[in-house]
Amino acid sequence: MGKKGRPRKWFKWTVEVKVHRSWVEDGFDLDNERAHHMLGGELPHAYGDEFKAKVTSRPPRTEIRKAQGYRR
């Protein structure tokens, strides 16, 4: 619930994130936890239930693992 017992109303942004291959090779992989942590850095005084972050599309895990030097 929001202020004065009213249901909280949400705003939604859709964001496209592009990261250079070198960062993926060095271990970067954007998941829901990391996205939430990154957004939390911009909203340092917000409670955890006041914002949400979710990865809805990502490169195939096999491509990420291959870029990071794993065979599978």
Q: Which is nearest to 23 in space by CA: 68, 56, 71?
A: 68
Sign of CA dihedral 54, 58, 63, 69: negative
pLDDT at 60: 95
The gap between the terminal CA atoms of the chain, to the nearest Å, is 45
pLDDT at 20: 97
Can you tell me the distance from the alpha carbon of 67 to that of 6, in angstroms, rounded to the nearest whole number? 47
pTM over 0.95: no
Percent of the chain with pLDDT over 70: 93
Average pLDDT over residues 34-42: 95
Six-digit token string for 28 = 């970067």
The answer to whether 68 and 62 have CB atoms below 8 angstroms apart is: no
Domain map (residue ranges) of the chain = 29-72
pLDDT digits over 44-58, tens only?
999 878 999 999 999
